[in-house]
Every structure is written in C-alpha cells, then in structure tokens.
Amino acid sequence: MSHVPRQIRLGAFLMQTGHHIAGWRHPGAQADAGSNFQHYVALARQAEAAHFDAIFLSDSSGIRGTDQASLARTARSDFFEPVTLLSALAAVTQKIGLIATVSTSFHEPYNVARKFASLDHISGGRAGWNLVTSSGRTEAQNFNRDELDEHALRYERATEFHDAVLRLWDSWEDDAFPRDKASGIYLDTAKLHLPDHRGKHFRIRGPLNVARSPQGRPVIVQAGASEAGRALAARTAEVIFVAHQTLEEAQAFYADIKNRLPAQERQPDDVKIMPGIFPVIGASLAEAEEKFEQLQELVDPAVGIALLSSTLGNVDLSGLAPDDPVPTLPETNGPKSRQQLLLDLARRDGLNVRQLYLRIAGARGHQQVVGTPSQVADFLQHWFENGAADGFNIMAPWLPGGLNDFIAHVVPELQRRKLFRTAYEGNTLREHLGLKRPAHPAAYPAYA
C-alpha cells in the first residue's frame, strides 16, 4: 500500500467583506457582501475549485457593540443567518465542506440537530457545526435576558447541549427507512432509538424527524481555548479553530489537546487543529507590507477602540484615548482566552491602545502573515511540520481579492511542496478531513 503523506487542511473563513475591520473600504472589496448571495456563491466556488476542505461562517445573534460612531463605520451589522446561507450554497457546489456557527447559549438542541442533519442531507454529507457559547451581552438582550450566564454555566450547558444533539442525530440507524412500496413498510421501528434525554438543562423525548445523515453525524467544530473550552473540545470537537500569537503557544495548545484525547477514548487523528491565519500577499515583501499599511490607514480610531473593547470581552474603553496605555482589566465573563491573549500581547510588546487595536484590526488575535507567496507557504509549512497545526483557517483581509490572492499564489506553492491536495479524495467533509464516520451506537445509557 502506498503511503499518503500528511497534508495541510484548509478552511476559507468568509467574513462578509473580509477580516480586516476596514476591509470593506478597500477599493476591491464587495461592500454589500453581507446581503449579496452571489458574492458568497463566487467565493464558495473559488474555494471549491482550489480544493479547500471547507468554507466557514461565523455568527452572532445580534450586532456586537452599541457605540454609534463605530457602528456607523463598520461593515458588521448586516449578515445572513449561516445555516440558511450554507443550505443555498450546497445547491451550487459539489464537494466543499459547509461549516456554520450556531451558539448553544440561545438555541435549543432539537432545532440545531434538525438544521444540521437537514444541511448534511441537502449537501450530500458536507455539513459541520461550529459549537460555541455566546460571548456578547447584546446577544442576551435579544433573548429575554439582560446579561449572559456565567462562563462556567455557559460551558456546562454547551456540554449537555452537545450530548443531546448527538442523541438526536442517532435517533435512527442508517437503514431505518426502507421505504418499501411492495410491503408497505416505510420505516423499520426496530431501528428507532428514542433519545429520551433528561439532563439538568434539557428534557427532549425525540426522535429527530430527519433520517440519520450521510456522514452519520455532521462534523463537530469547536473554538474555545480557555480551560473550560479545552475540556469541551477534547470531549466533543473533531476540528478546533484557534488563535495563537507564537509558535510556542500553538505547540503547547496542540500537545495539550492531543494529550487529553486518550482519557476520552479518542485518538490524536480524531481531532484536527486549525489555527486562524490572516495573510496579506504581495509579489515582494515590500508590496505585501504596502498593501497591509493601506488597510491600516483606513481604521477610524472610534472603530479601533470599539473593536478592542469587544475583543477584550466587551469592556468599557470609552474613556481612553488612542495613545493611552492598555489598562489592567478585570477578568471578563466573555471570551476569556482571547482577552488573556491580547493583554499578554500588549504587555510583551509594550503596546498602547492604538497600537493594540491596529495589531488586531485584521487578525483579531490570530496569526498575521505579511509577505510573498513563498514566505506565507514557509510559515504554514513550519507550523504544520513542527507540532502546531493540522491545517489552517484562512482569514482573507478583504473579499474577494484577499482569498483570490491566496488561491492564485499560495495554494500552488503548497501543492508544489506536496503539502496540499490537487484533487478531492472523497465527497464528504469527513473524507476531506480524514475523520472517521461514526458508527451508530447500539444504545445510549440514561443521561446523567
């Protein structure tokens, strides 16, 4: 049997007009991307033609931030509901995986299970669910709440939410629906497994009214890096999207997650770790740096401070001036790992408020790579081959141009190095990622 070398996994993280906070102002950006379906059709088809593993859509059940000055200058207030969008994109693509974010904080397991099982059927086995807990107070205020639940409680709920969704997805065995016209038997009730989930947060009888999906279950994606997030990821995730500032941080996270898996009766290959990468690409390093600086110059101070406030955990920075030092902050009830990452970055590099918001204006705390195609490929290869990543989630600075640059110039370089596929090996997201199709469990024990 011929040995197939380990290959980089690639996701295209599609953020409306691009990931740079001022990306919508770039001359080549699709300014109306948030409500332009054909924009997403073109991006999905381009990523599929380049043999990306998946496209990924983040989401929030609300507009983050209430500062009017920054809201007026930011392209983050109009965007499609992601499962709806991916269902439409499934009809105009054939191979590429389709991953959407849906929070466990303000949804119910039955609805989420039904949506993603349906997407998996519609797409022929290409669905993935990015399981997150909500981190914004403005989201809570859209669901009869004034504040978010405490961080620990959100993760406790998320863990049970995941378990309930899996039980619902396994309501039916793979061949439970013979639909035999001659005998008159539409379904084999012996192959029904009633979820009957009874936990602290949810009581769900079931079964799900969608047959078991082509992948057995959609792929589970997770993004938390706090201790609670790591514990949840080791138990539930098949793909982890994560942010790191240094190779050493990435290596430590990678080793920590892989080392936690045996206790969950899982193998290292059962989880793919894919850090976010924000690439700005030029024919020369000077050209790439010039492209990046042109974007940086478009960042309005009000937008930068509002972005910093949100990314640090929705803390009030309204009294700060851009040249002020980054203050000491109390621990957030929002995204704890991201707050710590940014505070560590500010202390390590001696950054003031302006310098810190400019540092995250594109990558949001993810790794930023500015250079030639070869330099970007060098970076990805180094992390991939040195225990820091199984692949990368590509965060284009502006869209469509930033993704086009990566596809046109970096993908061929990775292929030349035999680090990335030149054709899809299968049809489902699990096959693209090298993940096993889960067997149907004989039975679930009573939930405790």
Question: Does 101 carry a binding-site annotation?
Answer: yes
Q: Which residue type does 24 have? A: W
Q: How far apart are CA 167 and CA 27, in angstroms?
A: 48
* Whole-angstrom Cα Rg for the chain: 22
- DSSP summary character for residue 146: S
Are the CB atoms for 8 and 391 separated by under 8 Å?
yes
Give DSSP secondary structure letters for 335-399.
Answer: -HHHHHHHHHHHHHHT-BHHHHHHHHTTTTTSEEEEE-HHHHHHHHHHHHHTTS-SEEEE--SST
Q: How far apart are CA 169 and CA 172, in angstroms?
A: 7
Burial 394-417 (b: 16+ CB within 10 A, else e): bbbbbbbbbbbbbbebbbebbbee
Q: How far apart are CA 268 and CA 257, in angstroms?
A: 9
Question: Does 226 carry a binding-site annotation?
Answer: yes
Are the CB atoms for 439 and 216 separated by under 8 Å?
yes
Q: How far apart are CA 95 and CA 84, in angstroms?
A: 18
- Name the H helices within 124-241: 137-140, 151-169, 227-236
Question: Does 59 carry a binding-site annotation?
Answer: yes
Are the CB atoms for 129 and 116 separated by under 8 Å?
yes
Closest of 97, 408, 385, 388 to residue 279, by C-alpha: 408
Q: Which residue type does 116 have? A: F
Q: How far apart are CA 3 and CA 251, in angstroms?
A: 26
Burial 244-256 (b: 16+ CB within 10 A, else e): bbebebbbebbee
Q: Which residue type does 251 have? A: Q
For the record, the structure tokens of 108 come out as 């119910």
CA 59, distance to chain mean position in Å, is: 9
Question: Does 67 carry a binding-site annotation?
Answer: no
For the record, the structure tokens of 378 come out as 């060098």
- Does the CA dihedral 55-61-65-71 come out positive or negative? positive
First to last CA, the chain: 45
Give the annotated binding-site residues.
59, 101, 151, 155, 226
| Binding site residue list for FMN | 59, 101, 151, 155, 226
